[in-house]
Structure formats: structure tokens, C-alpha cells
Amino acid sequence: MHLHIPDGVLPIWLWVTGFIVLAIFLIPVLLKIRKQLNVVPRAAMTIALILVIMSIPLGLPIHLNLLALAGILVGPWWSLVVAFLTNLVLALLGHGGFTVIGLNTLNLWIQALAGFFLFNLFARLIPKSLCDRDPGLKGLGTKKSGVSAGLAAFIGLALSFLFTVFLIVISKVGPGEFLHLHEGVEEVGHLEMSLPTFLKISLPFISLGIIVESFVTAFIVQFIKKVKPDLLTFRK
């Protein structure tokens, strides 16, 4: 999930808290990864991919994020940097205000963390026999990699949506501010509605987006497993 909320909508205490929490995590992460220069090209490639994917119109009030894939490719710590820089660029492009960079980064990082840890967890727990029938495949099967990535993305996106609902509840801002039925239709974001109404309107689109992104993530990971499997072995 990604908040498209412009500046001046969320209460000051909320977005300031978002930046504070982000700093609490980001500063030690930067200190931890400062010598891992070999990961910079992979992180840059991941940021570029995410920016392109987020810019592709789907004809629906949703877009793909691929942050779960980012977590799988660059690990839990670098994925925070990826999420932050991605949101900074998006804010510069008007894709959400500057004041929500902190909250948006945390929101996307939830997806990345779930992507990394759950992908590796499912890769160990899911029996290969349930996914791969080709006896010639060695190690972690190609289909097993895809299934693990798809499940990780699904759960990560679901957690991200729950985080968004949490922000709606504590912000005391009308849920309509979090609803974007069509890019460029500003008045849609200002609809007066209750939280149950927001959920009724958004859940069908969110559910569709989660399913689509889960399959896309699974497909990409399966492809990577075939052509460049070492990209899926990030552990730091």
C-alpha cells in the first residue's frame, strides 16, 4: 500500500512521529550497511524497477509496489533504504506529499520485511514435492521459489493494508482522504465516509491488487531462479 495523501491533511503529530520512527530505524541501518558497497548496484536496480512499476497505470485505483520482491533481493536492511529513496523520489514527482514520506517508508518496509523473512521461511517449510515435479531440479525448486515469494508478498501486502487502516483510525482524519479511486480526481480523496464504508469500497480493489502483485512477484522470482539464482541468496 502507498499513501497518496498531500501535505496538510494528516495531523502534525502523526507525520512527525512517522519521521521519528523512521529515523530510529534508518540511522542504525545506514551505519550497519555503510560498508556494503557491493549491494549498491542491486539496490539502485531495485529502486528503478519499483519506480517504473508504480508508474504503470492499470486502469484501476491500484498500482503494484513490488516491495516484497525488494526485500527478497536486497535483504531487510537495504530494503529500508530502498523504500525511503523510492518515497523521496515519488514525493518529488507529486506522488504523495513530503510529510507522508516517513509513514509511507514504514508502510512499504512492512512489505519488504515480510517479503524477506517469509520468503526464506516458506522456502524451508514448504515441501518441494508440493510445487516441483521435475526430478532434474536441484536445491530450492523453481516453482517452490515462486510459491514462497507469492505467499510472502500476499501476507506483506495484507499487513501493509492493516497498517493503513491503523493510520486511519489513529489520525482521526476522514477515511475518504485515504481513498483514491482515480488518479487526478482530487475531490474523490475528500469524500465524507465512515470506516466501514471505506472498507467496503476499498477492499475489492485492494484484494485484487494483492492477488495480482502476489502472482507477479511469484512469476518474477521464478524467472530469477532460472536465470540468476544467486540474486535470491541475499542474507545480510
pLDDT tens string 64-80: 889 999 999 999 999 99
Please name the residue ranges forming H helices in the chain: 12-33, 40-55, 67-92, 101-125, 142-171, 195-227
Mean pLDDT confidence for 13-20: 96
Distance CA 182, CA 11 (A): 24
Q: Which of the pair, 100 or 62, is modelled with greater confidence? A: 100
First to last CA, the chain: 25
CATH class held by domain 12-232: mainly alpha
Q: Where are the domains of the chain?
A: 12-232
> How much is the pLDDT for 194?
79
Evaluate if residue 213 carries a pLDDT over 60.
yes
* Global confidence as pTM: 0.85
pLDDT of the residue at 158:
95
Residue 23 CB-half CA count within 13 A: 6
Residue 214 contacts residue 65 (beta carbons within 8 Å): no
154, amino acid identity: F
* b (16+ CB within 10 A) / e for 3-28: bbbbeebbeeebbeebbeebeeebee
Half-sphere exposure of 209 (CA within 13 A, CB side): 24
